[in-house]
Amino acid sequence: MKTWQVLKLWGIPFYIHPNWALLLFLFSWSISNQVNFTSGEIYDMQDSWFIGFFTAFLFLISILLHQIPHTFISLKEGVKIKNITFFFLGAISQIDKDCQSAIGNIKIALVRPCSYFLTSLFLFLICYSANSNEEIIINILSRVAILNLFLGLFNLIPFSTLDGGILFKSVIWYFSGSKNKGRHLLNRLTLLISFVICLLGIFLSLNSNFIFGLLISIIGLIGINSSKSESQFFKIEKILKFCKISELNLIPLRKLEFDLTLKEFNKISKNNIEQKFQYYFITNNGRWDGFFTDESVRKVPLKKWETTIVGNYKKPINEFPRECSDTPLWKIINKLEKTSQGLILIVNSLGIPQGLIDRNKIGYFILDKIGFKLSGELRNKLKIKNKYPLGLELPKIIKLMQKNGDL
């Protein structure tokens, strides 16, 4: 859905999502319905909607303005921001580079809640010193102040998507020296809070407001699912960083002798249809000498197949992408993304070829490691050439790890 640009600061465009129009209406309607309930039935419908609309409007404007000091501090701490889009009661920043220090992240996490609190205090002071005849303006400003105070406190909850979550994991990082320790502890805390929210929703559904309680329970369930996904993400990161290619079962090499004729090779390839278009590796007197594909056969007239040997059409083995068997998985994946073959030749410490590796092998190794085991039959059905199984976006995960300084 198309977004609207409302501001551009420090070269960063600020967008609002169209759902803000819906949010403005819902807030206006909700607040207008509460005006007389909280103020003693003193306003008519027109005044109630006036108060509701301008309270909602000023509150949404304040959310946008609070992002400005947050963005300024983020930039000062080395964060590279591409753009910012406002959804409902928060903003999503498209970031090219994160802050690389714990103290920097603490500053970034604190600036927005502090901005809410200062705004709330400022508005309360205006209401306190205002003329009592300006009751509608006082009513609006006091409500905006209360909403800012609430959102500031809400943002400090140590939940993964809130400033409080960033603050929590950054403080752990600062005192422990381990960035990942803070992330792991925050994920556990998010799971605990999500369970509490879910139970609260069930309680409200059974004893008070069913619809409201149901919505609260759904928020809790989303948090639980998000926490579990994050746990799986941690496992994948650990596998990519610490597991080496030697732990995988490699694809066996298809060996051909240097002096094998093309006619004999054609018989071999026909008997191994599943190996068609795979790479074959040439040995000469027990030494690895090069590689060969059956595409080379097409260049040779059929009448010459009996006298032409595969060795005449081999390519130097050094031209095939290769990596040592003690290379970590993330480096192998990065190299795979740069190869046209979709395969890497794995060699031992002496440079002797051991086998081949492709995206399927790596993907299923990782799925097995995180406990997501698939049968051989299902793997064959899901197998897509040069693709990671089940849509695993391993290159993106590696880029994120590099951006966060984890690699």
Beta strand pairing call for 279-284 and 254-257 = parallel
pLDDT of residue 29: 73
User: pLDDT-derived band of residue 34, with 50, 70 and 90 as boundaries?
Assistant: low
Q: Which amino acid is at 309?
A: I
Q: What is the mean pLDDT of residues 383-390?
A: 71
Give me the percent of the chain exceeding a pLDDT of 70: 86
- Per-residue pLDDT at 265 exceeds 70: yes
pTM: 0.66
pLDDT of residue 370: 84
**Would you say 67 and 91 are in contact if contact means Cβ atoms under 8 Å apart?**
yes
pLDDT of residue 244: 92
Q: Which amino acid is at 135?
A: E
- Per-residue pLDDT at 211 exceeds 60: yes
Q: Write the pLDDT tens digit of every residue in 139-191.
A: 778 888 888 898 888 888 888 778 888 898 889 888 888 777 888 888 888 88
Comparing 61-70, 129-138, 333-342, which segment has the lowest mean pLDDT?
Answer: 129-138
- Per-residue pLDDT at 117 exceeds 90: yes
Q: Write the pLDDT tens digit of every residue in 233-264.
A: 888 888 999 999 989 889 888 888 888 888 88
- Per-residue pLDDT at 273 exceeds 70: no
Comparing 200-209, 289-298, 325-334, 381-390, which segment has the lowest mean pLDDT?
Answer: 381-390
- Per-residue pLDDT at 375 exceeds 80: no
User: pLDDT-derived band of residue 379, with 50, 70 and 90 as boundaries?
Assistant: low
- Per-residue pLDDT at 40 exceeds 70: no
- Per-residue pLDDT at 38 exceeds 70: no
